[in-house]
Amino acid sequence: MEFKLDFGYLVEIIPELLSFIPLTLFLAVISMIFAIIGGLILALIIRSNIPVLKQLATIYISFFRAIPTLVQLFLIYYGLPQIFPAFTAMTAITAAIVGLSLKQAAFLAEIFRAALNSVDKGQVEACLSVGMTRAQAFRRIVLPQATRNAIPATSNVFIGLIKETSLAFTLGVVELFAQGKILAASSLKFFETYLALALLYWFLIIIFTLIQQTLEKRMEKPYIS
Partner 1 sequence: MITVTNLKKRFGENIVLNGVDLHVNRGDVLAIIGPSGSGKSTLLRCLNLLEMPDEGIIEIGDTKVDVTKMSRKETHLLRQETAMVFQNYNLFKNKTALQNVTESLIVAKKMDKQEAERIGKELLIKVGLEDKFHQYPATLSGGQQQRVGIARALAVNPHAILFDEPTSALDPEWVSEVLQVIKNIAQQKTTMIIVTHEMKFAEEVANRVIFMADGNIVEENEPKEIFHNPKNPRTKQFLKTLERDE
What residues line the site for partner 1 (CB under 8 A)? Answer: 120, 122-123, 125-133, 136, 140-141, 144-145, 148, 221-225
The identity of residue 154, as a single letter, is T
Looking at beta carbons only, is 16 or 120 nearer to partner 1? 120
Are 120 and 146 a contacting pair, CB within 8 Å? no
Looking at beta carbons only, is 56 or 128 nearer to partner 1? 128
Shortest spacing between CB 210 and partner 1, in angstroms? 24
Looking at beta carbons only, is 11 or 128 nearer to partner 1? 128
Looking at beta carbons only, is 146 or 162 nearer to partner 1? 146
> Among 164, 178, 153, which Cα is nearest to 68's?
164
Shortest spacing between CB 149 and partner 1, in angstroms? 11
- Give the C-alpha distances (Å, rounded to integers) separating 134 from 106, 127, 138, 139, 142: 25, 8, 6, 9, 10
Looking at beta carbons only, is 55 or 123 nearer to partner 1? 123
Q: How many CA atoms lie within 13 A of 63 on its CB side?
A: 10
Shortest spacing between CB 126 and partner 1, in angstroms? 4
Shortest spacing between CB 137 and partner 1, in angstroms? 9
How many residues in total does the chain contain?
A: 225
Shortest spacing between CB 90 and partner 1, in angstroms? 41
Determine the distance from the C-alpha atom of residue 119 to the mean position of all C-alpha atoms in its chain, rounded to a whole number. 24
Distance, CA of 142 to CA of 34 (rounded, Å): 21
What 8-state DSSP symbol labels residue 131? T
